[in-house]
A = this chain, B = another copy of it.
Amino acid sequence: MPTLKLAPALNVSTWLNTNQRISLESLRGKVVLLEAFQMLCPGCVSHALPQAKRVRDLFSPDDIAVIGLHSVFEHHSAQGSEEALKAFLHEYRITFPVAIDAQSAQGGLPQTMSAYQMQGTPTTIVIDREGRLRKHKFGAEQDLTLGAEIMSLIGEKNLPLQTASIEKQDENCTDAGCQIPNH
């Protein structure tokens, strides 16, 4: 019988839109939507971030935490500064907490992105009330699907049996998202 794995810890250099650092442990008991994005990723701006805002508006903060994860893996000088991200969050009216994914000392992918083995941005991660990884989707997800999946996890009382799977986006991603080169 497959078992579910705990979601990897967030490795964050700076938090925005919140006064305190947030750990996944501190969110036990809530479902967590973790939306990995880059401010210059067209699919993040047009689809994934507006969707995360709708999730924040629809569900109770007692049931779900919505967190943005700014995982910069390209154009570091353009989108890598805290100041640039702050301006972006202001202009796009994103008010939920946003974590800046910690860059790796050796270069390469930022650390949380790497720990989750993400393929690029946007990536939508959903974690259950017990901290286990339940959804990992690269690219665009339908609202109807995400709404159903989140509600399913909100309603969970018992240990679920299914294992999280990484869905690879079928379609060519050039318009919808930013895939890590040679991934």
A residues neighboring B (CB under 8 Å): 40-42, 45-46, 51, 54-55, 58-59, 74-75, 77-79, 81, 83-88, 90-92, 142-152, 154-156, 178
Contacts and interface: CB of A to CB of B under 8 A. Distances in A.
A75 B92 contact: no
Contact of A78 (B45, B81, B154): B81
Copy number in the complex reads: 4
Q: Which of A77, A148, A150: most chain B Cβ within 10 A?
A: A148
A83 B88 contact: no
Contact of A58 (B78, B83, B148, B178): B148
9 contacts: A40-B88, A54-B144, A77-B84, A78-B88, A143-B143, A143-B147, A144-B144, A151-B151, A151-B155
Chain A to chain B: the 9 pairs with minimum beta-carbon distance, closest first:
A147-B147, A78-B87, A75-B87, A143-B143, A78-B84, A148-B151, A144-B147, A151-B151, A147-B148
A58 B151 contact: no
